[in-house]
Amino acid sequence: MEPSVVYADEEVLVVHKPPGILAAPGGNESIPDVLEMLRDPWGPLWVVQRLDRQASGALLLARTPEARRTLRKAFEAGEVKWIFHALVRGNPPWAERMVTLPLRVNVGRRKRSVPDPRQGKPARTAVRVIERFGSHALVEVRPITWRRHQIRAHLFALGHPIAGDPLYGPGLLPQDPLPFLALHARRVIFPHPATGHQRRVTVAYPSLWEAALDALRWEKALVDTKDRDKR
């Protein structure tokens, strides 16, 4: 799959990064990255904040060093925000949660992030259930802080790991609706580096996501019908 440009001007690109592709070079030349794949048509680009390789969705890129510096300052001030959607396993017993578990990063051989009240760094993630399917739920996730694998580690700690997560969970299971990590950066919100005006760019689900959601809705409707028939 190739990255596609969703928004472009002289200062900024917002790209739909497919799952399995790095945002920027990561030391393994066999794994493609967005910067290299877009270099010929767009010239030099700079990543404002990376996304996990397995995740899809909105990747914010600066087209000039000055734009990158401005956007990084805005990010560090909390003015650049992402809204993620995730398909998690199970049916959360809550509608909304603010997860505040401190995280210690790069733990062990697999370099996981783990909750650690004593040695962990502060981490906050707002989670809201959008739709329930019984076997899975679609949740909106807003990271308030940015720690390595924060979203994945916090959802795992809640007992509702992201479907298909090989690091925070058992990896792909036969009942999972997608063949990869079900984490999508749905929207990025940022002050434009030239004007300061707020921009909101929404990135559509990949086609496999749409098919997965349709299948989950159909399965839930079938289960609901059978339950009604038993009454």
Burial code (b: 16+ CB inside 10 Å, e: under 16) for 156-179 equals: bbbebbbbbbebbbeeeeeebbbe
Instruction: Answer whether 23's CB lies under 8 Å from 50's CB.
Output: yes
Whether 229 is catalytic: no
Helix H or strand E segment including 108: none
Close Cβ partners of 131 (under 8 Å, ≥ 6 residues apart): 137, 138, 213
Q: Which two tokens stand for residue 115?
A: 């909750």
Helix, strand, coil fractions of the chain, as percent rounded to 5: 25, 35, 45
Distance separating alpha carbons of residues 228 and 59, to the nearest angstrom: 44
Task: Check 33, 52, 165, 176 and give the catalytic one.
Answer: 52
Distance separating alpha carbons of residues 183 and 147, to the nearest angstrom: 16
Distance separating alpha carbons of residues 116 and 178, to the nearest angstrom: 31
Q: What residues are labeled active site?
A: 52
